[in-house]
Amino acid sequence: MKQRNRKERARERGHSVLETALMLPWIFFLFVGAFDMGMYACAFISVENAARVGANYTSASSGTAADNTVACGAVLEELKALPNARNLASCASLPLIVSVTAVNGPDGAPASRVSVTYQTVQLIPLPGLAGSLTLVRTAEMRVRD
């Protein structure tokens, strides 16, 4: 009786090792996909915040409502945690483009509109995944003069 129980336990251990070996690639791809999506979500939130901060800085006065330099500095400061935006010095070409326009807001008052375009890096090159993602966010604020 004891010998039979040992054989059954050894067989069960063999089955669990085989099941783990078969599932391991799927678990790995699931982890990689979740990691990539988390980084894309972080970039999306950061670009949204950068557009808002840029609009906040340019809406300080009518003189800065269309100032690309002020907005670029604020956006670069906000995006410095992103991988390919750390060492950027300008906002004129991808991976980061910032454009500022003086507009009339919905109430007819002068406003500043800041548009931020950011291209992410592809973290883990897997076939079938999107690769790099281009995010465009726009924020508009009334000029506080």
pLDDT reported for residue 75: 96
70: left (phi > 0), else alpha (psi -120 to 50), else beta? Answer: alpha
Q: Would the CA dihedral through 139, 140, 144, 145 be positive or negative?
A: positive
This prediction has a pTM of 0.81
% of the chain beyond a pLDDT of 70: 91
Calpha distance 104→106 (Å, rounded): 7
Query: Which tens digit of pLDDT belongs to each residue from 84-123?
Result: 888 899 999 999 999 999 999 999 999 999 999 999 988 7
Cβ proximity of 60 and 99 under 8 Å: no
